Amino acid sequence: MSKKAFFITGTDTGVGKTLVSAALLLAAKNRGLTTAALKPVAAGCDDTADGLRNEDALLLKSVITEALTYEQINPVALEPAIAPHIAAQQAKRSLSVDRLAGFCRGVLNTADFTLVEGAGGWRVPLNTTETLADLAKTLKLPVILVVGIRLGCINHALLTAEAIIRDGLQLAGWVANCVDPDMPFQQENIASLEQRLPARYLGVVPHLFDEVSPEAFVNVFPPQAIETLFSQ
């Protein structure tokens, strides 16, 4: 089985990209694969004795098999929980696709299965001319789309899928994450997305997790989801 890497994006911020990434990484581990993960830029970090730390990056670190340092997983950590390009401006730092791609290349191909998690949605700015979509394009990674299942998700998902494909990247699969447990006709919305999205449906994450812990993600995705990604 050849090594595979994917870029994880979402239909919006707060749709559970890290939750889905952790679940996929654990499914790959259960399949006997080595795993690695990156969150190249993270805004919303806590100031700790070890430096700025982001809870999403720490979760990714806790579930992968490879012994990566925190800085390898999250090379650019920004304290304010705001748009990354604005957080970087506030910290008098500059973000660029070339720099982030360099960080990523140091980790890519170290494991059988690697995920590179974006921030927010597909067109999140890094600076005045570049977005995180440009990072995925530079790295030439197939994309996994996390759809937050809530009112408006069909429109958001279809527009994001169109943008990914227009950018010349493969949409390798999509995941339904039930972020709103009270959404009416939840299954009907997921079925509508299955009919319309031009990618493999990898599975659904039910609204189960009030507190995030690695144990919560075991067996969310069956091994078939990983096999689907590796078959492409």
Residues forming the active site: 39
Tokens of 225: 């989801």
The answer to whether 113 and 100 are in contact (CB under 8 A) is no
Whole-number Å distance between alpha carbons of 186 and 207: 11
Whole-number Å distance between alpha carbons of 171 and 169: 6
Tokens of 70: 């925190």
E-strand ranges in the chain read: 4-10, 35-38, 41-43, 46-48, 51-53, 76-78, 113-121, 143-148, 171-177, 201-205
The answer to whether 190 and 176 are in contact (CB under 8 A) is yes
